[in-house]
């Protein structure tokens, strides 16, 4: 049973109302996404608000966080309200599809840890199923939305399972979004990559490819690269 909250160095994420709990994927993306020059950020499917809070800690941008699930919005609102950055994070209770149709704002960074289990068995819990499967948010819609909402020099950053990530790269390029940075996430040395951290822009540049190993061969023995990436957040690093 997961804890009702997850404490980071500068904020705490309560998760008792939210179907999807704090996990490695969200922490990886929140720490990895390039927000150095970001002035406006959009977090698609914010859940507990984790990634929005991490980005807020790392830069001074204004952040819009979109979430369709009512309970997740309540949870994220509480987490944001209790943070140091509550004046810069705006929670929006809306589907991303509706948000695309009504938003006039352009974003210098869009981040998403999207639903991805496209062909697997749907989880019995309805809220968890919507959070994990793309029944309510297709990856194609993220690409289409990002194409419309990004500034000309804006960045889309996502984390996906390896197979879905490679497919996402192809689909995005067909819509004019090009993968310029890619980090393969390996659970342990010598293992196949399980996740892809991907960065896209409207301008094609030489691809920067990297790898990061989470754990060494002993459980909870984390690699230096993973520690360095997440040390501003995890209490133990």
What's the pTM value of the predicted model, to 2 decimals?
A: 0.91
Asked, for residue 103, whether it belongs to a domain, the answer is yes
Instruction: Quote the mean pLDDT of the chain.
Output: 91
Asked, for residue 46, whether it belongs to a domain, the answer is yes
Asked, for residue 95, whether it belongs to a domain, the answer is yes
Give the model confidence (pLDDT) of 85-127 as tens digits.
999 999 999 999 999 999 999 999 999 999 754 443 344 444 4
Asked, for residue 235, whether it belongs to a domain, the answer is no
Please list the helix, strand and coil fractions of the chain in percent, rounded to the nearest 5, in that order.
Answer: 30, 25, 40
Report whether 87 contacts 135 (CB < 8 A). Answer: no
Number of domains comprising the chain: 1
Asked, for residue 237, whether it belongs to a domain, the answer is no
Give the model confidence (pLDDT) of 164-222 as tens digits.
999 999 999 999 999 999 999 999 999 999 999 999 999 999 999 999 999 998 888 99
Asked, for residue 219, whether it belongs to a domain, the answer is yes
Asked, for residue 236, whether it belongs to a domain, the answer is no
CA distances from 20 to 31, 73, 125, 161 (A): 19, 12, 11, 16
Q: Which residue has the higher pLDDT, 116 or 161?
A: 161
Could you tell me the residue range of the domain that residue 70 belongs to? 5-230
| CATH number of the domain encompassing residue 114 | 3.40.50.150
Neighbouring C-alpha atoms within 13 Å toward the C-beta of 176: 10
Compute the average pLDDT of residues 126-154. Answer: 76
Asked, for residue 188, whether it belongs to a domain, the answer is yes
């Amino acid at each position: 049973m997961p804890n009702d909250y997850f404490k980071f160095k500068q904020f705490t994420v309560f998760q008792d109302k939210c179907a999807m709990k704090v996990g490695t994927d969200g922490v990886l993306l929140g720490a990895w996404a390039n927000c150095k020059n970001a002035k406006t950020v959009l977090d698609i499917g914010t859940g507990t608000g984790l990634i929005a809070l991490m980005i807020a800690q790392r830069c001074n941008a204004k952040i819009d966080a979109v979430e369709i699930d009512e309970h997740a919005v309540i949870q994220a609102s509480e987490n944001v309200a209790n943070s140091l950055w509550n004046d810069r994070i705006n929670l929006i209770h809306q589907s991303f599809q509706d948000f695309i149709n009504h938003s006039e704002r352009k974003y210098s960074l869009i981040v998403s840890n999207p639903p991805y289990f496209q062909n697997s068995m749907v989880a019995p819990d309805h809220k968890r199923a919507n959070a994990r499967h793309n029944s309510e948010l297709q990856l194609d819609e993220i690409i289409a939305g990002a194409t419309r909402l990004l500034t000309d020099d804006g960045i889309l950053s996502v984390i996906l399972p390896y197979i879905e990530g490679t497919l996402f790269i192809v689909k995005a390029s067909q819509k004019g979004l090009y993968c310029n940075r890619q980090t393969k996430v390996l659970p342990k040395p010598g293992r196949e990559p399980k996740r892809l951290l991907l960065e896209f822009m409207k301008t094609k540049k030489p691809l920067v490819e990297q790898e990061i190993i989470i754990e060494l061969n002993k459980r909870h023995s984390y690699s230096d690269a993973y520690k360095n990436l997440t040390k501003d957040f995890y209490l133990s690093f």
